[in-house]
Amino acid sequence: MSTFPDQFRLVGRTALVTGSGRGLGWEMVKALAEAGARVLLHGRLAERLAPRVAELRRSGYAADAVVFEMADRPAMREALTGAGPVDVLIHNVGERDRRPFAEIEPEDFARLIDVDLSAAHALIRLVVPGMIKQGWGRLILVSSIAGQLAVPGASSYIAAKAGLAALARALAAELGASGITTNALSPGFFGTETNADLMVSPMGERQRQRCPAKRWARPEEIAGAALFLASPAASYVNGHTLVVDGGVSATYLA
């Protein structure tokens, strides 16, 4: 007899997490593997993914790697064709361009939008037919509180992240009747490798103080939210942006 905790299991499912060689992607892919999914790790370099795949396999989990640049659509298509059907997609990969608006040329803006937003659309187009065929799927787009709460010097990144949340709503409306849920995750201030220098800077200290929790999040604190949205337990959660920010976006003074 199944119990309610079984609703958080992903046995028999295949989950692809983009940008999963480190940081939040790595924490999410570990959680899905521990929940029983076969996981596909994604990155640009096979040699960086190999140790992660080996670590998961040593722990008894089913794991493989898919390697492609998000801007390389033919390589993306080829990699996904060889990987088999995907039941859960967490689109986590993204680049940043921390420069003043006046310094970001139109072609720079377009390139970041392509990598951070348009590539998500292209990837979803590849996995959705299989989800529709089986009548079940989970699409999770990793946005950011920067998509709602803007800061100077990141206009292209902010636009892309806001676009991901909007895309999640659009796909929820369009794909919901096919048994597919589409949601967004909106992380706040997470202490990942990418943010290591920022954390110890004056801005990082201001961000810590800005958070009601008075600390940066540990990377593993994203895992529960990701697993929930990927699981059968979230079967009626659709078109939602789940914010994981310690209360930052709920307050204007902390």
* Consecutive H or E run containing 123: helix 119-134
Asked if 157 is an active-site residue, the reply is yes
DSSP per position, 127-194: HHHHHHHHT-EEEEEE--GGGTS--TT-HHHHHHHHHHHHHHHHHHHHHGGGTEEEEEEEE-SB--ST
Catalytic one of 61, 157, 236, 252? 157
What are the residues facing 42 on neighbouring strands? Answer: 66
CA distance 248 to 83: 38
Query: Cα angle vertex 178, ends 131, 34, to 5°?
Result: 45
Q: Tell me the catalytic residues.
A: 157
